[in-house]
Amino acid sequence: MSAPIALDELVQLAGETRPEDVTQLALRGQGITTFAPYANQLTALECLSLSHNKLVSLDGMSLLCNLVTLNVNNNQLKSLAGLEKCCSLQQLYAAKNLVRDLGPVAQCAQLQTLSVLGNAIASLNETLQVSAL
């Protein structure tokens, strides 16, 4: 992807006319490296799919307090930092990244589904301490 996707284009892709009305957004395979520029204007998001992109961090995700489902499979994430304040998060799909530590999701009390297959989780003991998912 040579240029970032414009916010109005994202809103249109979601089938809405205003950013504050967007609750679901799928941006699979768009070459996105960060979602941070959009997060502060798409705070109503409940379901976000950013799979098969080039994400290296989850910067800005802490602004998405209504987020219930997040799919970041097949990216280049080394950390899940940024999800600590996503108190509504119930489903997280982060398979096939470079994640070594699940600590950042320990504060996601609503989390019911966690998929981290194909990562570099450093220790099963640390993983089990996150919670009884």
pLDDT digits (tens, 9 = 90+) for 28-70: 999 999 999 999 999 999 999 999 999 999 999 999 999 999 9
- What is the C-alpha to C-alpha distance for residues 115 and 92, in angstroms, rounded to an integer? 6
Q: What's the pTM value of the predicted model, to 2 decimals?
A: 0.91
Strand, helix or coil for residue 131: coil
Beta strands 69-71 and 113-115, pairing class: unpaired
Instruction: Average the pLDDT over 94-103 and give the result.
Output: 95
Residue 1 pLDDT more than 50? no
* The pLDDT of residue 124: 55
Residue 29 is encoded by which pair of tokens?
A: 């395979």
Superfamily of domain 7-16+25-130: Ribonuclease Inhibitor (3.80.10.10)
Q: Cβ–Cβ contacts within 10 Å for residue 24, how many?
A: 15
- DSSP annotation of 107 reads G
pLDDT grade, residue 125 (50/70/90)?
low
